[in-house]
Structure 1
């Protein structure tokens, strides 16, 4: 049903005014690469789009980056009420005490998303939030199992603050750097599928017999966050190197070598495309 109801692009949306279509197309061009006419939003599905996603090593690394959210948050969501109970709260009160933790996570998403858009950079707001969650895991792993309830509760805030904000930047970053539209659609579905597989791990690492210290749970979360931070750093370096190489190319020579249609079909492989950092 969606295939026939949902417009393929703002240009084909009959319910939009002309100025709304122009505005939305302008935003889409700004979201991916440069506004140089090489981002295609009317392309058709092809096997090339699928194989282009599966063979794109940067997307596999993006999944590792996204695990910094999915594995951590799945583990956190299933276990945090039990952790709060171990701090001395009764079961009913423990559920209420977890609410501020998630409110802090939501607020962090809004703050870091605004900062990323303001400074026109993504990778910093992946590494930064994940580093905050990393500090929380290190502290909870290092603090003695008995006592220090207030200190433990404070560090519990850092995990959702970092993990929730980090995944928003990861997904935005990925969407910015995929073109044309079919490659973006397939690529985002591919990465989200791989990301959600992290739930298989995250929901099974906080073992009841290890309460209240949970060395395996916090230790594995620590390792996952380190891997995600490294993956984000590698992606940032790779995107920067590709951009510099393309900046050194002569635009007139590129346009003499390729037609506008060919450049459009190349999507993010076009010499005119610039990756968002």
Structure 2
């Protein structure tokens, strides 16, 4: 029992390979996609109001209070890195936006608060999670404000099989993932529980199917943003590779990866971005004592045709 055994020799790990080796099989050009740089910094919409503590201040926000005039809560608390995927969409006035895995609704709220979209479709495959979206919007959008009510729709459908093709200008694919921060803090519903092993192992396939489906539902010239809240290389860059290689092999869709490394620099005051990590397609926010947001991986993909 006291003998040293290398991890690779443990029973059941005879065929162990590194997670990062699973998807690096071909070069990007061999499967048909290229990279373009986003030269302009990420835009902060003028109507978007975001509040955060200064660097190094780890105080808890007070509980949201009810605005008795508008009958809504006065702010929505969420991980600050959750703002980044919506900003990466670069929503323009009048656009049709799909939040594919929208529950509990925080990113939908951000998109609506910009006052830019013509319509935001908030989708989730689960009825209970769809009800969470409805509750979030009820708590934070004043009843009777038609500018919001007209431009918000909640749907319940399988995100892996979107019926509408080439129907959206922008799509956010914030997928179910390992939820690293939540898994560290909570045991009750951790994805690492032995009873959820099958679910955990199936995540990359689900994620790549969701992303591939979104790229078929966005119009040529439109943008899809893929995001997770995990550090897993397979669920981040790996899923982007899997989805795009699948589309290259099975469809005539062409895409380009949008390199946002320059565009996100102005947000370095708010986030600690990972560098020299070997990322090929996206940016990642790393939690730290000074910038305690994330993890959040974001990859931006533009459909060419």
Tell me if TM exceeds 0.5: no
Q: TM-score, normalised by structure 2?
A: 0.24
Q: TM-score, normalised by structure 1?
A: 0.25
Structure with more helix by fraction: 1
Q: Which has the higher contact order (CA 8 A, sep 6+)?
A: 1
Structure with more strand by fraction: 2
